[in-house]
Amino acid sequence: MELKAGQQTGNSSPAKCAWCSGSGKWNVAPGHSASCIVCGGKGSVSIYQPALSCEQCQGTGRNKTIRPCLVCAGTGWESYLKK
């Protein structure tokens, strides 16, 4: 496991994935979906507390494109735990 973004320490807890809105699926084409590229199909990501929304994308996980935000990697959170 490695800490990304804000490099905070403390307890982590699950939070809804911003990229897939907690569904665990990513709609790649009408009628076709795949596992979310950010949370791996879990619908949640592990974040360190206190939770802070990403300032770059305002917690949406997107950066004005169809690609994940480069700052938070699509999680929507400042500090997250990547497994």
Quick: pLDDT tens for 66-82.
788 988 889 898 876 65
Rg of the chain over all Cα atoms, to the nearest angstrom? 12
What's residue 50's pLDDT? 81
> Tell me: the pLDDT tens digits for 28-73?
888 898 999 899 999 999 988 888 899 999 999 988 877 889 888 8
Output the pTM of the full model.
0.70
Confidence bin at 83 (pLDDT 50/70/90): low
Per-position DSSP letters for the chain, written without gaps between them: -EEEET---S-EEEEE-TTTTTSSEEEEETTEEEE-TTTTTSSEEEEESSP-B-TTTTTSSB-SSSSB-TTTTTSSBSEEEE-
Per-residue model confidence (pLDDT) at position 80: 66
